Amino acid sequence: MEFYELHPEDPQVRYINKAVNVLKEGGLIIYPTDTVYGIGCDIFNKEALEKLFDIKNDGGSKLFSFVCSNLKDIARYAKVSDYAYRNMKHLLPGPYTFILPAAKEVPKKLWSKRKTVGIRVPNNQIALTLVNMLGNPVISTSVTNRKGDILSDPFEIKNIFGAKIDLMLASGNLTGEPSSVIDLSEEEPVVIREGAGDVSIFV
């Protein structure tokens, strides 16, 4: 695993560019978000997606969310109602995952049975720069151990995943909660998981 320490507010673009090259070549990376570390790949690389499912010990039943660069970018990959747009505009970037109807451009491997997808715009400069430089979304699934516990120490993560991941962008210990998950695919919002983001406006 290539391992690089980045400044959280002013990340070294040369290291992010190395991660982008790995993604374009079908590799897997670990990167920081505004909540926890995520394992990611290019959502349009089928082989990389299969490798990621294998790492998570999942045959494809687990639904992964993905990171977009901004609200405008979301509209390319999901159908956004006026109600959803108003709420997301108020809360993003931030520690939320929004469930929305999938657009045809998104690989069906990432669709739920209800034809929805989970989308994030994290308030993290490294993650947003990564997606901007790549030019399309990156998968976001929390880095966990075999028990499902979230891992926050980048050096522990390196020791556990070093043989499976091609590159890691580290940014210190991330001890935040996972993102809050809000389903905005129907007329009424549904809080799926209360995490780091305040969900009071949806309750």
Long-range residue pairs from 149-158, CB within 8 A, at least 24 positions apart, any chain: 150/36, 150/178, 151/37, 152/36, 152/37, 154/3, 154/5, 154/37, 157/30, 157/37, 158/1, 158/3
Q: Which residues are 25's β-sheet partners?
A: none
Q: Hey, where are the domains in the chain?
A: 2-202
- Identify the pLDDT of residue 152: 94
Looking at residue 27, its pLDDT comes to 98
The span from the CA of 116 to the CA of 103, in Å, is: 9
Instruction: Answer with the residue of higher pLDDT: 94 or 176.
Output: 94
Half-sphere exposure of 52 (CA within 13 A, CB side): 33
> Which CATH fold topology does 2-202 show?
DHBP synthase (3.90.870)
Q: What is the pLDDT of residues 118-149, one digit of tens each?
A: 999 999 999 999 999 999 999 999 999 888 89
Residue 36 has pLDDT above 80, yes or no: yes
pLDDT digits (tens, 9 = 90+) for 154-175: 999 999 999 999 999 999 999 7
Q: 112-148 burial, b for 16+ CB within 10 Å, e for fewer?
A: eeeebbbbbbbbbbbbbbbbeebebbbbbbbbbeeee
pLDDT at position 109 is: 86
Predicted pLDDT of residue 129:
97
Strands 116-120 and 190-193: unpaired
d(C-alpha 153, C-alpha 145), whole Å = 12
In the predicted structure, residue 55 carries a pLDDT above the cut 90: no
* pLDDT at residue 59 is higher than 60: no
Answer whether 70's CB lies under 8 Å from 88's CB.
no
